[in-house]
Amino acid sequence: MERLSLRLRIFLFFILLGLGGTALVMAALWLGHMRIETAGATGAFVFSAILSAFFLIGLTAGIWLLFDENVAKPIEKLAAGLRAKAHAGVNTDVDTKAARYLGDLAPAASAVGQALSDTAMNTAQRIAAETERLAAEKAQLTALLTEIPVATILVNAAGQIVLYDGQAAEVLSQIHVPRLNAPLSDYFTEASLTPAVKRIHKTGMETSFTAQGVLGNLSFDARMKPMNGGGYMLLIDAEHVKIAPEAARPLVYDFDLLQGAALTSFEDTPLMRLTYTVFDTETTGLLPHKDEIVQIGAVRVVNGRIINGERIDQLVDPGRPIPPASTKVHHVSDAMVRGKPGIAEAGRKFHGFARGSVIVAHNAPFDMAFLHRHKALMGVEWDHPILDTVLLSAVLFGASQTHTLDALCERLSVTIPPELRHTALGDAQATAEVLVRMLPMLEAKGLRTFGAVLQETRRHGRLLEDLN
């Protein structure tokens, strides 16, 4: 069978349908003929018609199952594999075994995939050499900035953070976790920022002011310098901020954000322009209505890339003993969470970290149920837009495939170190890597905006209901 061409196989499907249908109708007529003496001619004719209908429906369903299993599903899997190689940089071989009944299509797809891999490899080697040079320059710049006792923050015209150095990270972290693309007003009060911004726009010159932290207990001597394009540089006297070598953070920036504008509508925003907060939780059990969170891990994705250094790895005191069976899975023990923040404080911290972004998780309803249950205690509303990588997987690879995190990582060549699997931060990092590979695949499929993706994922909502 495997040597036959695809056209011949499809022809045989139709021959089978025609011959099988004819044989079944003849069998039904013969059985009806056998009933003429007992049921009469009319009764025998009706019996034959009903029997023929049932036979034909059964034959059609059987042939459809054969066609679906040997043609439709393999084509869907082959297309998803090629899209992953073309747009997500996945270097795994195209699965030709699943498409063994598709004639020359599988070898042709494999050849195209190999050509893509060879081209990508050559390009990657050139990029790697240039990246190494840029990394060395960045390291020199980071070291230079660290020696200067001034925290540096670059802000675009929309008031969003474009760059911060290690010392600025230490200043910002005293208020909230540092975040690229976050409004500076998340850290310093509008009352202290706005007059300074107006002065530099009016005079075009540097101005000094006191930057007041939004928590009300911190203030910093600061200078604001205008930049071309309407943004500005914020310089904070950071002589009192001492960065220990083990706590030093790299220079974090994305100059594409200089052209950014304040977000007006999530639905109409291109996928690559959105900011994503990818998170995972570890819990005392699998019942969101009564179990508790023991660990929250989260990372941020800006402009389609994971921002190193912007993460949460927070142990949470559940206020109750952790069952040994749960500890065996995630390795979080009662001793580890003793003295750690409760869900109210940890939840508020994560809420601030995710502000202004799309929240992403693998099987998001499960993790979000724990947060929603304690929202009154946290004093927050979880009204963020949500994306679920289970549903994104169904959109890209077909609902019939396996959509576990492990399966997705294998499909997209993402490696989870064994010691990090079933840790909140490890699973959040893996989910983020899966997401950044899927974003260009979604765009290639024609789903370019958040609204379009959301509409498509709703078609697969049943997957999450079954999963939970």
Residue 138 lies in a domain: no
CATH of residue 450: 3.30.420.10
Residues 437 and 296 in one domain: yes
Query: Is it the case that residue 124 has pLDDT exceeding 50?
Result: yes
Q: Cα(352)–Cα(350) distance, rounded to whole angstroms?
A: 5
Residues 180 and 309 in one domain: no
Residues 305 and 441 in one domain: yes
**Mean pLDDT in the chain?**
84
Query: Is it the case that residue 247 has pLDDT exceeding 50?
Result: no
Between 20 and 205, residue with greater pLDDT: 205
- The whole-number pLDDT of residue 244 equals 47
Do 301 and 276 touch, CB atoms closer than 8 A?
Answer: yes
Q: Cα(355)–Cα(319) distance, rounded to whole angstroms?
A: 27
- Indicate the residue among 252, 278, 313 that finishes a domain: 252
- The whole-number pLDDT of residue 133 equals 64
What mean pLDDT comes out for the span 355-381? 96
Closest CA to 309 of 257, 252, 359, 348: 252
Kindly report, residue by residue over 162-192, the tens digit of the pLDDT.
999 888 888 998 899 999 999 999 999 999 9
Kindly report, residue by residue over 29-81, the tens digit of the pLDDT.
777 667 676 666 666 676 677 777 777 777 778 878 887 887 778 878 878 87
Residues 165 and 41 in one domain: no
- The whole-number pLDDT of residue 311 equals 94
What mean pLDDT comes out for the span 404-426? 90
How many independent structural domains does the chain possess? Answer: 3
How much of the chain, in percent, has pLDDT values that exceed 70?
79
Query: Is it the case that residue 355 has pLDDT exceeding 70?
Result: yes
Lowest mean pLDDT across 16-30, 340-354, 384-398, 434-448: 16-30
Residues 94 and 219 in one domain: no
Residues 312 and 362 in one domain: yes
Task: Compute the C-alpha angle 372/376/378, nearest 5°.
Answer: 85
Expressed as residue numbers, the domain containing 34 is 6-117
Query: Is it the case that residue 262 has pLDDT exceeding 60?
Result: no
Q: Is 22 exposed, middle or buried (0-12, 13-18, 19+ CB in 10 A)?
A: exposed
Residues 303 and 424 in one domain: yes
Residues 276 and 246 in one domain: no
Residues 298 and 418 in one domain: yes
- The whole-number pLDDT of residue 25 equals 77
**Which residues share a beta bridge with 160?**
183
Lowest mean pLDDT across 269-273, 369-373, 423-427: 269-273
Q: Cα(463)–Cα(341) distance, rounded to whole angstroms?
A: 34
- The whole-number pLDDT of residue 291 equals 97
Residues 313 and 433 in one domain: yes
Q: Which residues contact 28 (CB under 8 A, 6 or more apart)?
A: 48, 49, 51, 52, 55
Residues 245 and 293 in one domain: no
Q: What is the DSSP letter of 272?
A: G
Pairing type for strands 305-315 and 232-237 reads unpaired
Do 78 and 95 touch, CB atoms closer than 8 A?
Answer: yes
Residues 160 and 108 in one domain: no
DSSP 373-387: HTHHHHT------EE
